[in-house]
Amino acid sequence: MNQLIVNTKNKKYKIVINSNFDGLYQEITKLNIPISKIAIITDDIVDPLYSGQVIDHLKKSYPEISSFSFIHGEKSKNLNTISDIYAFMIDQKLDRKSLVIALGGGVVGDMAGFAAATYMRGIKFIQVPTSLLSQVDSSVGGKTGVDFNGYKNIVGAFYQPELVYINTSTLITLPNKEFNSGMAEVIKHGLILDQNYYNEIKNNIDKILDLDDEQLQILIYNSCKIKSQIVSEDEKEEGCRALLNFGHTVGHAVERLKNFELLHGECISIGFIAALYISNQLGEITESTIDNVKKLLETFELPTSVAGLDPTDIYHEMFHDKKTSNNQLNFILLTDIGNSYIDNLVEKETVMNALQKIT
Ligand SMILES: NC(=O)c1ccc[n+]([C@@H]2O[C@H](COP(=O)([O-])OP(=O)(O)OC[C@H]3O[C@@H](n4cnc5c(N)ncnc54)[C@H](O)[C@@H]3O)[C@@H](O)[C@H]2O)c1
Ligand SMILES: [Zn+2]
């Protein structure tokens, strides 16, 4: 069992990485908080797979445990589902001492977290992420929220969990495509901050593809370490947390222009390559490094270019990102694998050249 600590201004909490749910009860006990009732929030795919297991581990000590599931997927990530969750919480008579467990992928985590942040002005919650993306990214850092009127994550709150409990064996049931999408964020962590980690991923491709548990534990530990260090330093994205947006400026534009038909990891994978081509024009990354990254992404069936989109459309779409401020595009660029910086002065021509390479 591996552990990490996230230490933000507002909260200190543990990330526990294990290959089963056996330690969950103990970790909840160690929080040392009074718990009147527990409510599991999950989706209709994860519910039949894992709610029973979680309940079995907890029901002896916490007999008042209930669960609510909604239809899986981004389409449910809205205020209507939040209303349903509030109704469930009231129905179950959850009070200020109740604990919410977010059991599922990033959609569940973001919504259960937002419901916990706002119900009775905030009740405690823990993250039990079950998709690779949620285990290495969304469950850590306290960003919660929903989509609204076509804008992704536009309504939300920073609200840190009490604990993140990761059971890596849940990845066995995760569809391959979803696993690969999560791998994009894993590879991102190596690219922006840690060349050794990038190489570790490259050197263990077979084990990762085989879902070798020991390798998955190493991978998730390293990614959570990077994410938790960044979040501990800059909880509200006023500085270095922006480095995590590597590939996301172009990625989000592609995601919207393709009407969310591509997975998030697939879009940022395309975005990584665009950012690398920008860095290449600035004299910082060689073509052979770009080929090296492309090869790794392709191993996980992640796209490195996108058909059917016009570079000019992508360029304009980037200005609609909620992170674009003062009409200025912010790019995260690399000087080398494992070394990134923020650049908001990239010239249009440089961006357009890079976009031409990925379309
Ligand atoms: N809060 C943050 O910091 C942050 C960061 C990145 C992404 N996000 C958000 O996360 C969401 C994406 O997360 P996601 O990729 O996990 O999507 P998701 O929650 O939709 O999960 C993907 C699919 O996998 C299924 N699934 C999850 N775990 C499973 C398992 N163990 N076995 C079988 N099926 C399983 C889900 O039911 C779903 O159908 C987006 O809404 C995004 O905005 C948030
Ligand atoms: Zn992302």
Angle between helix 195-203 and 213-233 (nearest 10) = 160
d(CA 212, CA 313): 41
Q: How many helices (H) and strands (E) does the chain have?
A: 15, 11
Q: Tell which residue, 171, 269, 176, has the closest CA to residue 220.
A: 171
Q: Are 42 and 115 in contact (CB under 8 A)?
A: no
Residue 237 and residue 35: Cα distance in Å, rounded? 32
Which H or E run includes 102? Answer: strand 99-104
Known catalytic membership, residue 241: yes
Nearest ligand by distance to the CA of 188: 2
In short, whether 190's Cβ falls inside 6 Å of ligand 1 is no
Catalytic annotation present for 9: no
Largest CA distance in the chain: 63
Centroid of ligand 1 to alpha carbon of 57 (angstroms): 23
Residue 237 in contact with ligand 1 by CB distance below 6 A: no
The residue among 199, 204, 201, 206 whose CA lies nearest residue 186 is 201
Query: Which residue puts its alpha carbon closest to atom 13 of ligand 1?
Result: 106
C-alpha 157/C-alpha 255 separation (Å) is 23
Q: What is the DSSP string of 150-195?
A: TEEEEEEEE---SEEEEEGGGGGGS-HHHHHHHHHHHHHHHHHH-H
Tell me how far the alpha carbon of residue 145 lies from the centroid of ligand 2, in angstroms.
15
Tell me, yes or no, if 149 is annotated catalytic.
Answer: no
Q: Which of 21, 40, 45 to mutate to test the pocket of ligand 1 (most atoms within 8 A of CB)?
A: 45
Ligand number, closest to the Cα atom of 153: 1
Pocket lining: 143 vs ligand 1, CB cutoff 6 Å? yes
Catalytic residue, chosen from 57, 227, 256, 294, is 227
Residue 1 is predicted with a pLDDT of 62
Considering only CA atoms, which residue is closest to atom 16 of ligand 1? 105
Q: What is the 287 CA–ligand 1 centroid distance (Å)?
A: 33
Amino acid type, 14: K
6 token code pair? 């996230």
CA pseudo-torsion sign 223, 228, 230, 231: positive
Residue minimizing CA distance to atom 33 of ligand 1: 174
Domains (range + CATH), the chain: 2-173 (3.40.50.1970), 176-358 (1.20.1090.10)
331-345 pLDDT, tens digit each:
999 999 999 999 999
Atom in ligand 1 nearest the alpha carbon of residue 170: 31
pLDDT at 324: 74
Residue 43: in which H helix or E strand, if any? strand 38-43
Question: Is 264 marked active-site?
Answer: yes
Mean pLDDT by 10 residues, the chain (359 residues): 89 96 97 97 98 96 96 97 98 98 98 98 98 97 94 94 98 98 98 97 97 96 95 85 95 94 97 98 96 98 97 94 78 96 95 97
**Dihedral sign computed on CA atoms, order 77, 78, 80, 84:** positive
C-beta of 140 in contact with ligand 1 (< 6 A): no
* Three-class secondary structure of residue 273 per DSSP: helix
Q: Is 252 among the residues known to form the active site?
A: yes
Q: State the CB neighbour count (10 A cutoff) for residue 46.
A: 23
Residue 236: its pLDDT value, please? 83
* CA distance linking residue 170 with residue 242, whole number of Å: 29
Nearest ligand (C-alpha, residue 151): 1
| Residues shown for the chain | 359
The preferred substitution site among 133, 146, 245 for testing ligand 1, maximizing ligand atoms within 8 Å of CB, is 133
What is the β-pairing status of strands 331-336 and 339-343? Answer: antiparallel
Looking at residue 184, its amino acid is A
Q: Is 176 touching ligand 1 by the criterion CB < 6 Å?
A: no
